[in-house]
Structure 1
Amino acid sequence: MKADYKNWMPKGMVTGTGCGTIASLVLFLILGVSPIVPEGSAKKVIGIVLLILTVIFCASTIWMYLMYRAFSYNGKRQMSKQIIEGVASYVSIPDGGKGLDVGCGSGALTIACAKKNPGASFTGIDRWGKEYASFSKKLCESNSEAEGVSNTSFMQGDACKLPFEDETFDAVTSNYVYHNIPSSDRQAILLETLRTLKKGGTFVIHDIMSKVKYGDMQAFVQKLKNMGYDDVKLIDTTSGMFMNKWESTWMGLSGSAILLGRK
């Protein structure tokens, strides 16, 4: 049995845009080129609209396919695996401790942290929405079993309102989650995650922390320091750590960074 962490670019999205490309191209040939529709201004307008739609669908399909290849655990680039292992490398919990992974998806980061800290237990929480229909609690549990990991558990929940008491965990992690949550204040979501962290606990949160998505993160780092958090830093992951600047640009991952520190 082999773990199946799926792909951060769902195959269904790639297939869907590919089908959209074919459908719009067929309609363009039928309605905008063939003699079925009489010549005239209406035919020209329809043809132009369908041609533009075809180009958009085609470009989207190519972009998604390249993303799918880069993220694949079985491919050459394996960016997902590199990121997961890189984030997990910062997590160290004493035996008997507890960790939380917010937005666990297919369980990859939860399991990586559990393997690195066999004496601790890790909980992965996710809402497993329709956007990532291939991800589920059952998949996470199957992947844990495939990896021979028994110190994990998984549950459904909301990152904006975590079902845990204050200071429950010795470490909290997350990877590329919060930017997907519609919110005008993602810094508040970060604080909700940090609420569950014990004094002395570690947080390692990787996301697209650009100003447009998160606001002024340098100011947030200072805010955490003023609140008593230690060793708080923002580590750029787009300058060779997980990807280079060119990759982060064409993939739409510019601003990716790890928020790291202790409570």
Structure 2
Amino acid sequence: MKADYKNWMPKGMILGTQTIAIVFLVLTYFTFDNYTIGKLFWALTVIFIFVSIWMQLMHRAFSYDGKRQMSKQIIDGVSSYVDIPDGGKCLDVGCGSGALSIACAKKNPNAQIIGIDRWGKEYASFSKDLCESNSEAEGVSNTSFQQGDACKLDFPDETFDAVTSNYVYHNIPSKDRQAILLETLRTLKKGGTFAIHDIMSKGKYGDMKAFEKKLKDMGYEDVQLIDTTDGKFMSKWESTWMGLSGSTLLVGTK
């Protein structure tokens, strides 16, 4: 049995984009005599062809079975910062297919990893059952998974010895993603560690240097913002064409 972590660029999205491109191509053919409408449909055809090519390249780069395996590199990189004491607990927010939860479980075999996700229809291939199946395939027994809301976690303050997340919060419609970070950190015990990776660009998160200072003023220790697009997880060029510019790892201790 082999774990199946799926792909951050689902095949269904690629097929849907290709289908739309074909539809516009057919409409172009049937409206060829109408210059204005025909030209519009042809422009849309070209756009969707290029988008589908971009999505295919993303799928190839993210594939766990491919040559680049960027997803695996990122998961392994984030989990390397997650340090949990024996008997401790870690929360993985937005666990998806369970990849980061399982990586943390392997690194911390004497700790309990709890993964939560809303498992929305936009990523229909991800599910609680998939996470549990992947844990079984990887031979780990110190994981558990449940449905949850990153904006309002169903856990008391200072519940976990570590909290982590990977590429989750930028997908949540919000005018204040720093507040979502604070909601996650609320559940972290004093002395606990955190490792949160996301696209922390100013447009999505605001001033993260000011947020770093805010955490330090609140008593957090060793707070760092680590650029992961400088070769750590990906190159600048990869982050640019993939739309991952601003990818940053927020790490520290409460």
Interval of TM-score (by shorter of Structure 1 and Structure 2): over 0.9
**Are residue 158 (structure 1) and residue 149 (structure 2) matched?**
yes
Give the letter aligned to residue 20 of structure 1: I
Q: State how 1:1-263 maps to structure 2 within 5 Å.
A: 1-32=1-32, 39=33, 43-263=34-254
Q: State how far apart, in whole Å, the 2-side matches of 1:78 and 1:147 are.
A: 18
Q: State how far apart, in whole Å, the 1-side matches of 2:122 and 2:164 are.
A: 21
How does the TM-score come out when normalised to structure 1? 0.96
Greater gyration radius: 1
RMSD between superposed Cα atoms in Å: 0.6
Q: Deviations over 1:50-97 (max 9, x none)?
A: 011101111110111110000000000000000000000011111100
Q: State how far apart, in whole Å, the 2-side matches of 1:235 and 1:148 are.
A: 31
Secondary structure of residue in 1 paired with 2:243? coil
Secondary structure of residue in 1 paired with 2:195? strand
Q: Deviations over 1:132-166 (max 9, x none)?
A: 00000000000000000000000001000000000
Unaligned 5+ residue runs, structure 1?
33-38
Unaligned 5+ residue runs, structure 2?
none
Q: State how far apart, in whole Å, the 1-side matches of 2:20 and 2:59 are.
A: 18
Q: CA deviation at 1:46?
A: 1.2
Q: CA deviation at 1:30?
A: 2.1
Q: CA deviation at 1:29?
A: 1.4
How does the TM-score come out when normalised to structure 2? 0.99
Give the letter aligned to residue 85 of structure 1: D
Q: Deviations over 1:96-142 (max 9, x none)?
A: 00000000000000000000000000000000001100000000000
